[in-house]
Amino acid sequence: MTADLGHILEYWDREDVESMYDKHLLNAEIELIRRRLAPGLKILDAGCGEGEGTLAYSMLPGAKVHAVDFSATRLRKAAACVAGRDNVTFQQVDFLKPYRLDRDFDAIVSQRFLINLPAWELQGRVLLELMDHLKPGGRLLILEGSQPGVDELNGFRAACGLEPIPVKWHNLFFDDEVLVAFMRERGHPLAEVDGLGAYFLLTRGVRPLLDAKLDWNCEFNRRAAAPAVESALRLGARFSRLKLWVFRK
């Protein structure tokens, strides 16, 4: 069942909601994006949430970050997160309504923002609008949910006798092939795809076999999030519920 956009906005305007409770995963997401951003870029953080990514990108030398979100609550939390940084500006933007943004960004980041749009038609529309706000040669980096990644991880869980992990009610994950074909057909070829397959496989596939207690901050998860573990297993986008797609204008 498709979620109602009004209910999604109400959800994100709640003070008690966090965009990601697994902080090891959150930090790994941010690092996956950050290491693809060079110093001195003008960056749009679309759907900035609580601002953890905004803060990381703003610490790149010479960076200028424009952070936007449709939720006043998320923007207030983000402003508190980056307090003291003079190279970050904030703006409340609903991408489904009229808005104004610069059209000369070097890079645009969408981190679990587009999955909160409840229909593929809306996601595709916003994807193309984001591309329009890049300068020639600019890059769109979207770290979003992958339905094939969900299915692959749940296949592993099923083989181990574990129940599937569903997609949350307010999210609509991408079909990888549909996404890439849609962008390619409109002149925006895929430059790169990556993921956090090792972390997802270890924390959502292996650890539940060892300990049924849910604890995002446990030592197992901390170690699983180490870049050396991802490098050793080399899973990339395999088993990754969240994937990073990079498209160039």
Range of the domain at 105: 5-147+167-197+240-248
* pTM to 2 decimal places: 0.95
Do residues 104 and 42 lie in contact, with contact meaning Cβ atoms separated by under 8 Å?
A: yes
Helix (H, G, I), strand (E, B) or coil at 78: helix
pLDDT tens digits for 143-167? 999 999 999 999 999 999 999 999 9
pLDDT surpassing 90 at residue 4: no
What is the CB neighbour count within 10 angstroms for residue 40?
11
Provide the number of structural domains found in the chain: 1
CA–CA distance, 170 with 115 (Å, rounded to integer): 8
Q: What is the pLDDT of residue 212?
A: 87
The residue among 74, 76, 70, 137 whose CA lies nearest residue 108 is 137
Whether residue 210 is contained in a domain is answered as no
CA–CA distance, 178 with 72 (Å, rounded to integer): 32
Whether residue 104 is contained in a domain is answered as yes
What is the CB neighbour count within 10 angstroms for residue 173?
20
pLDDT surpassing 60 at residue 1: no
The distance from CA 185 to its chain's CA centroid, rounded to whole angstroms, is: 23
Query: CATH number for the domain including 18?
Result: 3.40.50.150
